[in-house]
Amino acid sequence: MKIRLHGRGGQGVKTAARIIGRAFFLSGYNVQDFAMYGAERRGAPVTSFVRASRGEILERGYIFSPDLVVLFDDTLNFDVVKKGLKGEFLVNTSQKIPGAKTVDATKIAMEIFGAPIVNTGMCGAVAKVLEIDLSLMERAIEIELKSLGIRDVGKNLEAARECWKRVS
């Protein structure tokens, strides 16, 4: 499974890749997750990658033909982020997009956090699209956020569950 995540600096794209990778690991997969940065500043485009396999992962480097592209910010150019896509397209948006799975993670985050914190919600949506056990994604969220010093992860788990429910 090859996943490419696109967003903007500050949206938690790198952390989401770590969470998704952890969920695969908890499911018994071998995993790689890594990020690519342009200018390291809030709002700049960011891309992260996850590979998961039941066997050994010998491939290294960027993912050019992903099975899933996850877009955190629908203001990014769809043609660029979808390049090489051979599978599903998941977008954080309030609009319906032909050929894409969508969830309004921003609206859900505003309801739960009062701020546009979309990464854990998008992880819940990824769990739905890829049929990863939601309880394993929740455990991955707990592990990764606690490793970052976040002790109260309850709202993040709520965001993941809500996005999981609302993917269309």
Q: What domains, with CATH codes, occur in the chain?
A: 2-166 (3.40.920.10)
Q: What is the pLDDT of residue 10?
A: 86
Burial class of residue 88 in the structure, from the number of CB atoms within 10 Å of its CB (0-12 exposed, 13-18 middle, 19+ buried)? middle
pLDDT exceeds 70 at position 38: no
The pLDDT tens digits of the residues spanning 55-94 come to 999 998 899 999 999 999 999 988 889 989 999 999 999 9
Distance of alpha carbon 19 from alpha carbon 76, whole angstroms: 22
pLDDT exceeds 90 at position 37: no
In this structure, are residues 70 and 17 in contact, taking their beta carbons and an 8 Å threshold?
no
Name the pTM for this structure.
0.94
The pLDDT tens digits of the residues spanning 131-164 come to 999 999 999 999 999 999 998 999 999 999 999 9
Q: Indicate the SS3 state at residue 71.
A: strand
In this structure, are residues 120 and 129 in contact, taking their beta carbons and an 8 Å threshold?
no
- Which residue spans within the chain are E strands per DSSP? 2-8, 30-37, 45-53, 68-71, 88-92, 101-103
**Residue 83 burial (CB count, 10 A):** 13
